[in-house]
Structure formats: C-alpha cells, structure tokens
Structure 1
C-alpha cells in the first residue's frame, strides 16, 4: 500500500492516469510499424524496376531455321559492334558472295560526341533493300555501353519512315557478347 492508503502509485494515480480522470495518456511505439512499411516499400520498388526491364523485347540467337535448312539468299545476319568511338556494322551469309556483303561493312563514327543513330538507320535500310528477308540485328556492346544506348539502337533498327510509310527494318534484336580468348602466360 502506498502512503495514501490506496494500492498503486502514490497520489491516487494508476498505471493509465489518475483515478477518476477521463483523460488517458497512452504512448505508442511506431518504430516497428515504420520498419515494416519501409521494407514493404523497398520490395515494391525493386519489383517494379524488374518488371520494367522484363518488358524489353529481345530474342535468343539461333543457329539456323531448322535441321538441314539452307541459308537464304535474301537474308543476312546483321552484326553491330558498339565501340567507344563508333558503330561497326557488318553482314554475313555463307551463300552470298563476299563482295556484296562487303558493300554493307561500315564504320559509323560518333558525331559531336554522340552515336549517329540516323546513319545507322540509313545503313540498315540499305541492307534491307538488298536483302528483304533480313529481320534480325545482333548487337554486340562494349564494356562501356550504357543501357540507354542499346535502347536507342533498338529504336533506330525497328522501323524507318520512307515516303510517308513506315517500313519495318530489323524488329528482332539479339543482344550478344564476344567470347574473349584466353592468352597463354
């Protein structure tokens, strides 16, 4: 018993305020709730970022159209190497003569410090005119190539407006990497 003869804390107050009072003072600890909410927010943002990246349409490279399929004469494999100072464009097909393919081998240097996507689109258009069945572009980025540049290449390769009409150039894009040979010590 306390000095006043009542149970509890001295002065007629109890654990939840003074006895006989209508006012109750309660302190809530919101720290655990805020921790949970911040974790949920983090995972939602991470999932949204992954969902945006997953919607970029790229395809897996294939060796041929099927077992025993002969390479088409009106289609080539178009390769684009993205180097720090330029684009290098080439076309290949075992059944097409080398002189015809070499006409499409180009180096497109940067203009004013930026890649020339207009010249790239024009070069791809010329390849499409010579080889109308071509629909795939293989991009080989360098180690310094940024994500936004790959997206700009995909946009330049997708379609081109010719005489007010949209022409599909290379709607299938494959992002690949070079296999580096190990050097002997």
Structure 2
C-alpha cells in the first residue's frame, strides 16, 4: 500500500509578524512630529482687484477723488482726478526710505476734504520689496490715535469720528 508523505499532510501554518508594536511606534512617531513642529502664522493683506467694466459709471454731481499713488524709485506721486493730475511729490528721507510721514500728513489733509472717500490705487512703477509695500499700505490705511480727528455726519445727523484713512487699497498694476 502506498502511503503519502507526511509533509503533505502536515500543513504548517506560517506565522504572521505581529504588527501591533510597529503600528504603535508609527503613531507615537507621528504624534511626536506634530507636537514638535512649529506652526506658521500666516497673515493676509486685504486688497482688491481693479474692476473693469464697459458700463458707464453712475452719474453724480460730485467728482470722484480717484486718489492714486505712483511709486517710483525716488519719489511717490500723489495723483487725483480722472485723468490723474499730480497733486504732490513725496521724496525720500535721509535714510533713503520713502517719507511716509509726509505722505500720511498730506493724505490726512485730503481725507478732511473727502471724508466719504475710502479708495486708493497703488501703482508701483518699480520693483519694491514686500516690506516697502506693507509700510506704504500701513501708512495709508488707518488713522492713528495721534492723528488729528476727522468728523463726518451720519444719516441721522449725528457726528461720527472717522477711524479709517483710505482702507480700500487697489493695486493698479503689479510688476513681478
């Protein structure tokens, strides 16, 4: 009589590796990486894009201020009106930076005569560093507590202190 080899009858189970310690180590490693990483604080600078339309603007008796800052290598030109006419040239100070204090003082005087105007167009004609753009934006955006008070009338006839200079910043052109 023929007898089958014993190796065929005895099927030996293959041992599977125990993955639980490996998974524990991976999860602890992921947790350690998350806890030791530095999270970045990302800030956003609010700015609008110019609107291009073929419609006629609404008719108004009051001419728009159309305030524009043309930023050049040696100066900042302040233009108003359509088409823009140069109202003031702001140069650089002794440190070689734009004289943002003079710019701010001039914009405050413009705001006093145009209380309802909130828009300003920045047109950098040169390559500016990010820090320079932010400094210019900060100087034209909000009124500080040390600035002279500007008042306006609400619809109810109440006096209201203006807290913003020209906070609606639009970039007219961007150079890379």
The CA distance in 2 between the partners of 1:88 and 1:126, in whole Å, is 16
- What secondary structure is seen at the aligned counterpart in 2 of 1:167? coil
> What is the correspondence of 1:3-22 to structure 2 with a 5 Å cutoff?
none
Considering Cα pairs closer than 8 Å and 6+ residues apart, tell me whether 1 or 2 has the greater RCO. Answer: 2
Shift in CA distance, 150/90, structure 1 to aligned 2, threshold 3 Å: same
| Ranges in structure 1 where 5+ consecutive residues have no aligned partner | 1-32, 95-100, 180-185
Higher helix residue share: 1
TM-score after normalising by structure 2: 0.59
Hey, what does 2:65 align to over in structure 1? Answer: 76
Count the aligned residue pairs: 129
Shift of 1:154: 1.1
- What secondary structure is seen at the aligned counterpart in 2 of 1:61? coil
Aligned mate of 2:98, from 90, 96, 115: 115
Shift of 1:144: 2.5
Hey, what does 1:92 align to over in structure 2? Answer: 81
- What secondary structure is seen at the aligned counterpart in 2 of 1:120? helix
Q: Does 1:159 align with 2:148?
A: no
Shift of 1:114: 1.1
Q: Is the 8 A contact 2:75 2:90 kept in 1?
A: yes
Shift of 1:133: 2.0
Hey, what does 2:4 align to over in structure 1? Answer: none
TM-score after normalising by structure 1: 0.56
| Ranges in structure 2 where 5+ consecutive residues have no aligned partner | 1-25, 151-160
Aligned mate of 2:171, from 160, 166, 175: 175
- What secondary structure is seen at the aligned counterpart in 2 of 1:168? coil
Shift in CA distance, 156/177, structure 1 to aligned 2, threshold 3 Å: same
Root-mean-square deviation (Å): 3.3
Can you list the C-alpha shifts for 1:107-148, whole angstroms capped at 9, x where unaligned?
Answer: 111011111111111111122122222111111113321111
Shift in CA distance, 63/78, structure 1 to aligned 2, threshold 3 Å: farther
> What is the correspondence of 1:127-142 to structure 2 with a 5 Å cutoff?
127-142=110-125
Can you list the C-alpha shifts for 1:67-102, whole angstroms capped at 9, x where unaligned?
Answer: 6512561641111011111111111147xxxxxx85
